[in-house]
Copies of this chain bind each other. A is one copy, B any other.
Amino acid sequence: MSDKLTKTALTPATHTTPPAKFSHGVRKGNILQVAGQVGFGPAVEGQAPTPVGPGLREQTLQAFANAEAILKEGGASWEDAVMIRVYLTDTGHFAEFNEIYNEYFASLQEAPAARTTVYVGLPAGLLVEVDVLAVLG
């Protein structure tokens, strides 16, 4: 009997097409990896991806929503997340980001994911990017 693991691309209908040959998320066995998500709103045919707002709050909540859609597509939820990588562009955003983070994850039942936050460059207009490693089961 084969126990070969299946590798599945996770592609929520709301997501814009990736700008290159990568998946928004991948599940293989009980490992689910969400690609870097930014504050792009739902895909609109014929339009380039656009951030939902100029502000950190709107972009962060949209990035979380985008990540959650991918987790769900793979049969997971935030409860399964073991690591959330946070990329901000400005150290001055840390306190506000944490407020938003705490509100968003207030109702978690399981242990919250670990997190690393670093400050990097992102394409113009983007203030935040997040990716997620989840372990299912």
Contact = CB atoms under 8 A, between A and B. Distances in A.
Interface of A: 3-5, 7-9, 18-26, 28-31, 33-36, 79-80, 82-85, 87, 91, 94, 97-98, 101-102, 105-106, 108, 110-124, 129, 131, 133, 135, 137
A99 to B, nearest CB: 8
A118 to B, nearest CB: 4
A28 B101 contact: no
A98 B133 contact: no
A23 B19 CA distance: 32
Nearest to A131: B116
Contact of A98 (B4, B20, B115, B124): B20
B7 A110 contact: yes
Nearest to A105: B21
A101 B129 CA distance: 20
A134 B114 CA distance: 13
A129 B135 contact: no
A84 B22 contact: yes
Nearest to A35: B114
A119 B5 CA distance: 33
A131 to B, nearest CB: 5
A9 B98 CA distance: 19
A89 to B, nearest CB: 9
